[in-house]
Amino acid sequence: MAFDDDLARRVREMLTGQPALRERKMFGGLAFLLAGNMCCAILGDELLVRVGPERYHEALAQPYARIRSLAGRTMNGIVVVAPAGLASDEALQSWVMQGVAYATSLPPRG
């Protein structure tokens, strides 16, 4: 699966200045990692956001957010945001920063 280059550019701009930022192809898309922990990823034209288990249900209650499942298993702590929920820079920034908050709460990984 390819990923939306424009969405990747927008996310990249929002993450500029974050310490230990890396991009890696994952899940058939593009993942953004902070100190080795994924904060978000782009699959097609959707954004996966790693909000963590504590904020998972709250995030799912937001418009345009849905459960992420892989091979029939729910990925607890990760939500998928539809393109309509990413149209404005403010909305995208809110989602990206939720991913940043969770990723930076974790210990650094290799």
CATH code at position 63:
3.90.1150.30
User: Is 52 among the domain residues?
Assistant: yes
User: Is 27 among the domain residues?
Assistant: yes
Grade residue 68 by pLDDT with cuts at 50, 70 and 90.
confident
Q: In the prediction, which pLDDT does 7 show?
A: 98
Beta bridge partners of 102: none
Q: Rounded to an integer, what distance in angstroms lies between the CA atom of residue 110 and that of residue 103?
A: 14
Residue 13's domain comprises 5-103
Q: How many domains does the chain have?
A: 1
User: Is 85 among the domain residues?
Assistant: yes
Q: In the prediction, which pLDDT does 27 show?
A: 78
Q: Rounded to an integer, what distance in angstroms lies between the CA atom of residue 82 and that of residue 99?
A: 16
User: Is 109 among the domain residues?
Assistant: no
What's the pTM value of the predicted model, to 2 decimals?
Answer: 0.93
Q: How many other CB atoms are found less than 10 A from the CB of residue 14? A: 18
pLDDT over 80 at 69, yes or no? no
Contact between residue 43 and residue 81 where contact means Cβ atoms under 8 Å apart:
no
Report which of 8, 39, 4, 5 is spatially closest to residue 21, judged by C-alpha positions: 39
